[in-house]
A and B are shown apart, each in its own frame.
Chain A
Amino acid sequence: MSDSATNSGHPGPGATAPPTTKPAQLWWKSTWFDIVQFVALGGLLVWLTGRGMAAMDYRWQWYRLPRAFYRVIDGELIWGPLIDGLLVTLEIAAWGMVLTLVIGLVTAVLRLSDSIAGRILAKVYLETIRNTPLLVQVSIFYFVLQPILGINNPLWTGILCLAFFEGSFASEIIRAGINSVSRGQWEASATVGLNRLQAYRYVVLPQAVPLMLPPLTGILVNLIKHSAILSFVAVFELTTEARNLIADTFLSFEVWFVVGGMYLVMTISLSSLVALLERRIRARG
């Protein structure tokens, strides 16, 4: 039985118990120790890569790389190919986003509408985009549609193609956002005398748009990522410039590391924004 001796150390009733404190955690079970190990592991990976490279006789020539960014000729600053490419990539992403939103919105409206032809058109568009590779879409846009439609700048063919591709995702996001507003909200809007358009404007969209923002920002990340595929056709974005640069200078690893880093900086900063937006929205409940 529980002998009272074990319990006698405790204060009697009435006396407030001294704040018994929580025992400390073991150091090797702590979060910090795991983080330290993680960083060490990352360091190890970098070191191993470095050693592998050294072993393969690769001659690092980092000093030649700044010229890929800028040159000063006769006191005049001239941007190098990587900066040019970066600007084109950003241009593609910016215009692509605008067109994506338009295409996504139109498709979502058609799918949510009661129009037979509208729904069929939207469905055909979505299934076509979903069930063919982006590379084939780019080829069809470049080799088939560009001459047929008489577009004379491959850059715009590329932007259009990416917008049609991402538009299929955008339409899903917009549709899901609108559908997430409960049926009761529509009914409530009707009972206070709003018509369908007013219900959208004053009740549904204000609730749906915040939900759509993070995934739509995610589409911007995808636009940046997928724009690299346009190096397949004659669009001089970042990846194309990188490939040309490598063909000229043979600085393969230097250039790919730097270009990969440039992409990562763009996409990760946007992805973090997405995460931040999501957290905000979840916090608001």
Chain B
Amino acid sequence: MTDHGQENAQRFADAGRPAIIRIEAVNKWFDDFHVLKDIDLTVGAGEKVVVCGPSGSGKSTLIRCINRLESHEQGLIEVDGIELTDDNKRISEIRSEVGMVFQQFNLFPHLTVLENCTLGPIRARGLSKTDARALAMEFLEKVRIPEQADKYPSQLSGGQQQRVAIARSLCMRPKIMLFDEPTSALDPEMINEVLDVMTELAESGMTMLCVTHEMGFARRVADTMVFMDHGEIVEMASPETFFSTPKSDRCKDFLEKILHH
């Protein structure tokens, strides 16, 4: 068993929550490039996991495998008891249970904010227009921009766009939310409005997997920190241990760079 595999199992036994994501011995290649190497990671319901690591270490690839935007070639990924395979029907089932927020927002530019939020509920969930609208307004209020509902994404600031993207995902009523560097494309003054929304979401008990370098947010919110480098999970620990006594040199270096600049 790998180093982090043991930790993983141990940590999990302690917390005593039911597993909602199980990743076991996952390997993935881009052509000949081995991006994910023997990844083991289990996430419990309601757990908040923050993933960090240097650029190119495979963080995005890992979380994109969880809703199968990328497919893995070896190993097992199970989300809410459903194993991810080539079976198409199951994939859309999983995708509507797993919300995802992208670094570049990826809002639909030809649709209004409200239409961005109702598209999934109407077309994938089969909700009526009125129900979808009510649902969308509920979540737009949660992210504090109900007044922008009829604008187009290009008329909003970056922070507002990212909050719409979060609302859009929440409208699918996901059990799990994945965040891929949600604040890296934002101007500094807008980062906090997005982190605040994410913190509230965490407090409401959502299972979250965040790739982020916002270490303040990580300390506040994370149950578990994961450090990746060169496609491997190098360290996995609670935030306290992770920040105070990182074990590997790679992790120490990384934290030094990111915390003292």
Contacts and interface: CB of A to CB of B under 8 A. Distances in A.
A7 B24 contact: yes
A23 B72 CA distance: 11
Interface stretch (A10-18, A113-121, A166-174, A195-203): A10-18
A79 to B, nearest CB: 53
B1 A4 contact: yes
Interface string A5-30: 01111111100010010110000000
Most buried by A among B3, B5, B29, B38: B5
Interface of B: 1-3, 5-6, 8-9, 12-13, 19, 22, 24-25, 27, 29, 32, 34, 37-38, 40, 42, 73-74, 76
Contacts of B38: 10, 17, 20
B22 A2 contact: yes
A1 interface: yes
Interface in A184-212: none
Contacts of B8: 2
B35 to A, nearest CB: 11
A6 B12 CA distance: 15
Nearest to B22: A2
A7 B22 contact: no
Nearest to B76: A6
Contact of B5 (A1, A7, A17, A23): A7
Contacts of B9: 1-4, 7
A2 B1 contact: no
B1 A23 contact: no
A40 B129 CA distance: 48
Interface residues of A, number: 16
B24 A2 contact: yes
Contacts of A3: 9
B37 A6 contact: no
Contacts of B74: 20, 23
Shortest beta-carbon contacts, A-B, top 7: A13-B3, A7-B1, A7-B5, A2-B42, A22-B29, A1-B12, A6-B24
A5 B73 CA distance: 21
Most buried by B among A7, A12, A23: A7
B113 to A, nearest CB: 37
A23 B73 contact: yes
Contacts of B32: 22
Contacts of B5: 2, 4, 7, 10
Nearest to B3: A13
Contacts of A11: 2
Contacts of B3: 12-13
B1 A8 contact: yes
Contact of A2 (B29, B40, B73): B40
A10 B22 contact: no
A12 B73 contact: no
Nearest to A23: B73
A13 B2 CA distance: 6
Contacts of B42: 1-2
B37 A17 contact: yes
B136 to A, nearest CB: 37
Given A10-B38, A20-B74, A23-B74, 5 more contacts: A6-B76, A7-B40, A8-B1, A11-B2, A22-B73
B6 to A, nearest CB: 8
A198 B175 CA distance: 66
B234 to A, nearest CB: 11
B237 to A, nearest CB: 15
A1 B1 contact: no
Contacts of B2: 7, 10-13
Nearest to A22: B29
Nearest to B31: A22
Nearest to A9: B25
B14 to A, nearest CB: 11
A9 B2 CA distance: 9
A90 to B, nearest CB: 45
12 contacts: A1-B19, A2-B8, A6-B24, A7-B40, A10-B5, A10-B38, A11-B2, A12-B1, A17-B37, A22-B27, A22-B29, A23-B74
